[in-house]
């Protein structure tokens, strides 16, 4: 499953100020020793977001709205030195937000 965040469904939708534009917000606060993280849909095992944690270990990620009604998100953190084992947290349900109310 892939998500199309192209001009057709984000930028044009933002021009419409009346219709709510719901997305799922995931706030991630990783361990200071983590250097890389991935957000996974655990039903399909697709990576839906990944990031290096070079500048900050705290991220706010916007995902499709469907992730706020299920607990199918898992976050995995890694360190590049292999000093620590990877850590995973699953069963995460994201916060539902209306992008037009921000």
What is the edge-to-edge ordering of all strands in the sheet holding 36-41?
A: 46-52, 36-41, 73-78, 87-92
Long-range contacts of 50-57 (CB under 8 A, 24+ apart): 53/77, 57/29, 57/30, 57/31, 57/32
pTM, rounded to two decimals: 0.75
The full set of domain ranges for the chain reads 11-101
Residue-wise pLDDT for 60-100, tens only, equals 999 999 999 999 999 999 888 888 888 999 999 899 999 88
Q: What average pLDDT does the segment 1-17 reach? A: 52
CATH class of the domain defined by 11-101:
mainly beta
């Amino acid at each position: 499953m892939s998500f199309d965040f192209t001009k057709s469904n984000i930028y044009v939708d933002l021009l419409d100020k009346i219709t709510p534009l719901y997305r799922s917000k995931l706030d991630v606060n990783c361990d200071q020793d983590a250097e890389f993280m991935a957000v996974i849909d655990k039903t399909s095992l697709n990576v839906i977001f990944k990031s290096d944690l070079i500048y900050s270990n705290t991220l706010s990620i916007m995902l499709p709205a469907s992730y706020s009604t299920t607990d199918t998100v898992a976050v995995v953190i890694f360190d590049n030195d292999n000093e620590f084992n990877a850590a995973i947290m699953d069963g995460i349900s994201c916060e539902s937000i209306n992008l037009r109310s921000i």
